[in-house]
Amino acid sequence: MSTHPFDAALTLQPLAEGRWQGRTDPGWANMVGPFGGITAAQLLHTACIDPRRAGEPLALTVNYAGAVTDGEFEIEAAPVRSNRSTQHWTMTQRQGGQVCCNASAVFAARRPTWSAPELAMPEVPPAAQVAIEHRPTPVAWPRRYEFRFVEGGWPDFRNPRELSDSRTVLWVRDEPPRPLDAQALAAIADVFYPRVFRRRQRVTPAGTVSLTTYFHAESVALAAQGNRPLLAVAHGRRFTQGFYDQSAELWSDDGHLLASSHQVAYYKE
Amino acid sequence: MSTHPFDAALTLQPLAEGRWQGRTDPGWANMVGPFGGITAAQLLHTACIDPRRAGEPLALTVNYAGAVTDGEFEIEAAPVRSNRSTQHWTMTQRQGGQVCCNASAVFAARRPTWSAPELAMPEVPPAAQVAIEHRPTPVAWPRRYEFRFVEGGWPDFRNPRELSDSRTVLWVRDEPPRPLDAQALAAIADVFYPRVFRRRQRVTPAGTVSLTTYFHAESVALAAQGNRPLLAVAHGRRFTQGFYDQSAELWSDDGHLLASSHQVAYYKE
């Protein structure tokens, strides 16, 4: 039995078919409640481990509807429609009967056909040539990842000055290293600190409202990546009256796009 | 009472609180079933017209779970969580009791605070200087829009040769012109023909599986755009074994990003 912190956080107790009980893990805590990436992984996981599930993850949308408080939660996961090549699921996380997160996922059977990349991986130095940057942080979850920033590292809060872009490029992997799977990739998709911190070089209340991740690689390709760092790229598009969007790409170290991920987040002040 | 084809398609009969009956409209037909954009607009609309709805559209995700067949459908829309500044909804479209689409939306109250663009609108000639390209097509929905392609126009199916990118830039508006609102924007987000047609310059079975749109402008800003053409930009990232993703931006003609939209689609052969 793995005792990796990621697998520990994904340990869920079955209550009934498609109903699971979990517990927030202090090791994955964010400013308020858990890291959004671990919640996304938990929600996806309930469908992945359900015997009714057919196919591999293709799309995941998580709506962070209300704060998750420390303690127990329940997830209900149900297939809503199964077709020849896709299966659609909805997942709902509740605490005390109230919805914290509502989510949807699509699973798909891929078939050999014409395939081609379009976006190319940015040219960056290999992970081994980029220093690991641990950051003293009051929150726990960043300690679950190894960060090697190529561009757009941790904001310099001592020197707040507005920047014209919010791009970040980094090599990232689980800490301690863990072989990649779709659940881990779903969590890593939310590994970027809020883009508004980067633009403004200051911390304000901020958090993901809705997160969508598209998976471009099946479990065999993810397993081939093993526990080596992924290249992760993120940028914002527009920050307007308390909400902004972010897009991100997660690349294997040999240049294949494993996932693209998009989110809208709130910010204050 | 408006008789615009878009408003006609959004005419829904109330069955009970949060339950609506609609009918597919031949004027919005795609190869199989209706244009995905009109379905997205109908789903969003059920929340917009519900008296329980608070705030303006921020995010919309539509999962096309199964083919919509010509005829009647029912949409169930329910608020799942309301907070001080956001309200979360789920919407489900059914035919004969079976789920065709499951969707989620977030509505938000925006507040004056630090705001800034990041992505800049591409430099293109104004709409008036770009020719309208009507295309003889066996499907109805493209006749509901005015297309002025700046780059990446209709594929040349007579001369199929693989292209290295799938970028399309066009000025687009409803045909006949109609003042912009969030529902119309949600439909326009799906106005790009499948990116795989562009890459391969040939038609194969293809369709949207999951579509997510983030709104960056409120109704006042959308109304200010009026019925003038929007600049719409789309590209793909990776095409793998039957599925690809697309990202798109929709700009006001004075250079503000009104929405960003992402989708994963299937293709065959």
Tens of pLDDT, residues A37-92: 999 999 999 999 999 999 999 999 999 999 999 999 999 999 999 999 999 999 99
Q: What mean pLDDT, rounded, does chain A reach?
A: 96
- As given in the structure block, the two tokens for residue A196 are 């508004």
pLDDT at B137: 79
> Any idea how long chain A is?
269
Q: Give the C-alpha separation, B75 to B16, whole Å.
A: 11
- As given in the structure block, the two tokens for residue B99 are 């789920």
Backbone angles phi, psi at B230, to 5 degrees: -95, 150
Residue A180 predicted with pLDDT over 70: yes
pLDDT at B1: 57
Q: Give the C-alpha separation, A158 to A147, whole Å.
A: 20
Most A CBs within 10 A among B238, B258, B260, B266, hence the mutation to make, goes to: B238
Please name which of A233, A137, A156, A129 lies closest in space to residue A191, comparing C-alpha atoms. Answer: A233
Average pLDDT over residues B260-264: 98
Backbone angles phi, psi at B77, to 5 degrees: -130, 130
B166/A111 touch (CB, cutoff 8 Å), yes or no: no
Task: Name the residue among B58, B113, B162 with its Cβ closest to that of A268.
Answer: B113
pTM of the model: 0.97
Average pLDDT over residues A163-192: 97
Which residues on adjacent β-strands are paired with residue B211? B62, B263
Residue A10's H or E segment, with its range, is none
Nearest chain B Cα to A212, which residue?
A: B212
pLDDT at B135: 79
Instruction: Give residue A160's pLDDT band: very low, low, confident or very high (50, 70, 90).
Output: confident
A210/B212 touch (CB, cutoff 8 Å), yes or no: yes
DSSP A26: G
Instruction: Give residue A137's pLDDT band: very low, low, confident or very high (50, 70, 90).
Output: confident
Most A CBs within 10 A among B88, B93, B110, hence the mutation to make, goes to: B88
Average pLDDT over residues B10-29: 97
Please name which of A146, A168, A157 lies closest in space to residue A248, comparing C-alpha atoms. Answer: A168
A262/B264 touch (CB, cutoff 8 Å), yes or no: no
Q: A122 CA to chain B: closest CA distance, Å?
A: 13
Three-class DSSP category at B264: strand
A245/B238 touch (CB, cutoff 8 Å), yes or no: no
Nearest chain B Cα to A112, which residue?
A: B241
A199/B59 touch (CB, cutoff 8 Å), yes or no: no
Positive or negative, the Cα torsion across B265, A187, A42, A62? negative
Residue A2 predicted with pLDDT over 70: no
Residue B136 predicted with pLDDT over 80: no
Three-class DSSP category at B123: coil
